[in-house]
Amino acid sequence: MPDALIIRRLSKAYVPGKPVLHDIDVEIAAEGVTAIIGPSGTGKSTLIRCINRLVEPTAGEILFDGQDLARVSGVALRHARRRIGMVFQEYNLVERLTVMENLLCGRLGYVSPWRAWRRKFPAKDIEHALTLLDTVGLSGFANRRADALSGGQRQRVGIARAVMQAPRLMLADEPTSSLDPKTSVEIMELLAGIARSHRIPVLINMHDVALARRFADRILGMSGGRIVFDGPPDRLSEATLKQIYGGEDWLH
């Protein structure tokens, strides 16, 4: 199975001389859920955001869909971004818009600005959106305002928005960190389900190791801006976790 995403020697330094990411090398296969775990500040979020260039890499290559994402700009960057769906920790829905309009945001990369402004999206997009709402369990919510939803509901909309893009890759930056445990599991089930049903790679950044073990096919452990563990969940030992996170108390 060819790799969907190849990252080579990726580095990022917000302050020159103090890199947050050190020469990251990783290949993501075309299917499956990959979880990135590690303590705060270790660069997990930076890594994810470098992929769709929400953060500018300092050096390195990000090969996706036949292009180096680290180099593209302008229209090519937009076209690349529309192929990558992203789910955010704080959902990042446009609060004042309805659920339907938030979903249609996922199609903005494909629809002309004029038609988008007039809300004249193709009928199949509307149909797709309504079907997706059913899939994520929010049937009938199409015309609720986004700020009237609970956290779990908002994240479902966020996921649906990303899926609307018909992405080849899904990124999720701490998608469950703002949610309660039960809702977190539901969201992870959704994400894993999408990975299976749409057969795309899903890259999730998370701090809940138990969740990662339960839902991921592959785990990347990061510490100090480097990948220190790369393998299936059952090979993730307590010793490794101690190495990644440091200290023991939090384990019990």
Partner 1 sequence: MKAASVPAPTYAFPQSRAAQITFVLLTVYVIYALTQLDVSLERVGQGLEHAGRFLGKMIPPNFARSELLWNGLAESLQIAVLASALGIVLALPFGLLGARNLMPSWVSWPARLVIVVARSFHPVVVAILFVKAVGFGALAGILALTVASIGFIGKLFTEAIEEVSAKQVEAVRATGAPFTSMLAFGVLPQVFSRFIGFATYQLDSNLRNSTMVGIVGAGGIGGTLFAAFQRFDYDFVSAILISIIALIMAGEVLATAVRRIFIDNATLRQLFRGGTPAHDRPLDDD
Partner 2 sequence: MTATVTTPLSTSRRTWRRFTPAQRTGRFAIYLLLVIAIVTSLRTIEVIPEFLYDAPDQVVDLLTRMWPIAWTYYPRGVHAALLETIHIASLGTLLALVLAAPVGILAAHRLVPLWPINWAARLILVASRSVNSLVWALIFVGIFGPGPLAGTLAIAFRSIGFVGKLVGEALDETHAGPIEALRAAGAPWRSLLSFGYWPQVKPAFWSIALFRFDINVRESAVLGLVGAGGIGMTLDAALNLFQWDRVALILVAMFFVVIAAEISVTQVRKRLL
Chain residues binding partner 2 by CB under 8 A are 98, 100-101, 119, 123, 126-127, 129-130, 140, 142-144
Least CB distance to partner 1 at residue 64 (A)? 13
**192 in Cβ contact with 33 (< 8 Å):** yes
The 10 Å Cβ neighbour count of residue 13 is 16
Torsion of CA 132, 218, 19, 88, to 10 degrees: 20
Helix ranges, 89-237 (H): 99-105, 113-117, 123-135, 151-164, 181-198, 209-215
Smaller CB separation from partner 1, 37 or 69: 69
Write the DSSP assignment of 56-96 as a string of letters.
--SEEEEEETTEETTT--THHHHHHHHTEEEE-TT----TT
Interaction partner, residue 123 (partner 2, partner 1, none; CB < 5-8 Å by kind): partner 2
Smaller CB separation from partner 1, 42 or 165: 165
Interaction partner, residue 130 (partner 1, partner 2, none; CB < 5-8 Å by kind): partner 2
Least CB distance to partner 2 at residue 98 (A)? 7
Question: In the block, which residue shows the tokens 């480097």?
Answer: 226
Sheet holding 3-12, edge to edge: 21-29, 3-12, 59-64, 67-68
CA–CA distance, 212 with 173 (Å, rounded to integer):
13
Smaller CB separation from partner 1, 103 or 209: 103
Interaction partner, residue 100 (partner 1, partner 2, none; CB < 5-8 Å by kind): partner 2
Question: What are the residues binding partner 1 (CB under 8 A)?
Answer: 52, 54, 77-86, 88, 90, 92-97, 101, 105-109, 111, 113, 116-117, 158, 161, 165
Interaction partner, residue 94 (partner 2, partner 1, none; CB < 5-8 Å by kind): partner 1
Smaller CB separation from partner 2, 123 or 239: 123
Least CB distance to partner 2 at residue 152 (A)? 21
CA distances from 73 to 58, 76, 80, 81, 107 (A): 15, 6, 9, 11, 20
Interaction partner, residue 95 (partner 2, partner 1, none; CB < 5-8 Å by kind): partner 1
Q: Reduced to 3 DSSP states, what percent helix, strand and coil does the chain have, rounded to the nearest 5? A: 40, 25, 35
**191 in Cβ contact with 170 (< 8 Å):** yes
Smaller CB separation from partner 1, 14 or 250: 14
Interaction partner, residue 166 (partner 1, partner 2, none; CB < 5-8 Å by kind): none
Smaller CB separation from partner 1, 105 or 204: 105
Give kind and range of the element (H or E) at residue 37.
strand 32-37
Smaller CB separation from partner 1, 27 or 147: 147
Interaction partner, residue 62 (partner 1, partner 2, none; CB < 5-8 Å by kind): none
